[in-house]
Structures are given as structure tokens and as C-alpha cells.
Amino acid sequence: MELEIEAEAAALREIQNQIAEKMELPTKMIPPTAEEQKEIDSRSVFIGNVDFGSSIEDIEEHFKGCGEIIRTTIPKDKFTKKQKNFAYIEFASAESIENALVMNGSLFRSRQIVVTAKRTNKPGMGAQRGGRGRGGFRGGRGGQQTVVVKYVYVNGSSPRGRGGFRGRFNPY
């Protein structure tokens, strides 16, 4: 079963490459497979606390002594189109990562940057539907619900949040 899926995936990649050649598109436009992405991530570093005004050239200049740089990426906010304050650098070899990790805590444009090895995103952990939202019961599978009771109040009344409790309304 797995061999059939892998064979179909390889056939689909071949078809995509043929279509890309016909359309004269670079083959880099096709997203990498999970294995290729893991290999790319093993040669990449995450750089945090990057100055908002910095450019790709500035970052590459700061890290040029670590090794050959293939790609530098500064993500941008989808809505405001402003760049975020972190970046990624993909190196040609995995050995360059050790050199780059030494730069952790160094000053870049008068800001102390954080350099860590890039982690591979797990599929399904993005901002899609589902997951753990903010409050509200939305159903789901039936079954036993666990209730945790923090306090048991002997008089029968419990404190009601931040406001002072003034007793029950008793008109007569």
C-alpha cells in the first residue's frame, strides 16, 4: 500500500515537472516533499528579534562568515504587509549551523538576536479550524466529561466573581 502511494507521488511530481517545463516555470515553485523539507530545515536557522528595518542583505552580511547561504527569508504579515521581527537562513551545509548558533546573543542593528536551529512544522498544527480555541463548548464526540471541583462550600452559597456578595434578594 505504501509503495503504491510513493509511486503515485513520484508520478505526480514527474507530471508537475513536465507541466512546469512546458509553462517555462522554475521547478522551485513546486513545494518540497516532507522529506525534502526536513532536509532543508536541518540546514536552516531561525533568527529572532530582528530589527524591523533590516533587509535580507543586512542579515546575510551579518551571517556570511558562518558558511554559504542559499536562501534568506524575512516573513511578512499577510494583512499589513510589514515584515515580522524574525528571519530564516538556509545554509548549503548542516555544518554551517554550528557556526551560526555561536552568533546567538550577538548584536545586530543594536538589538540582541536569538539564533536557534529551525524546527520542522508538524502538519495539522497550523491555524485551521479545530484545535483548541478560546472557550465555548462546540460539541465533539460524546463520552464521559470530566468535572474538576476546586472548592466545596458548606453554606450552599459560593462567591460570585469580583463583585461583593450582598445576600439573596428577600423582599418580605
* pLDDT score, position 32: 78
**Among residues 139, 86, 145, 136, which one has the least CA distance to residue 116?**
86
Q: pTM for this one? A: 0.55
pLDDT range class, residue 161, cuts 50, 70, 90: low
Residues 19 and 2 in one domain: yes
Residues 66 and 106 in one domain: yes
Number of neighbours of residue 91 by Cβ within 10 angstroms: 21
Range of the domain at 2: 1-30
Question: Residue 102 is placed in which grid cell?
Answer: 555561536
- The phi-psi region of residue 23 (left if phi > 0; otherwise alpha if psi is between -120 and 50; otherwise beta) is alpha
Residues 108 and 49 in one domain: yes
Asked if residues 135 and 81 have their Cβ atoms less than 8 Å apart, the reply is no
Model confidence over 22-60: pLDDT tens digits?
Answer: 776 554 567 778 888 888 888 899 999 999 889 999 999
Q: How far from the centroid of its chain's Cα atoms is residue 153's Cα?
A: 44
pLDDT range class, residue 3, cuts 50, 70, 90: confident
Model confidence over 97-140: pLDDT tens digits?
Answer: 898 999 999 999 999 999 999 887 766 655 555 555 555 555 55
* DSSP alpha helix (H) spans, 54-116: 56-63, 95-101
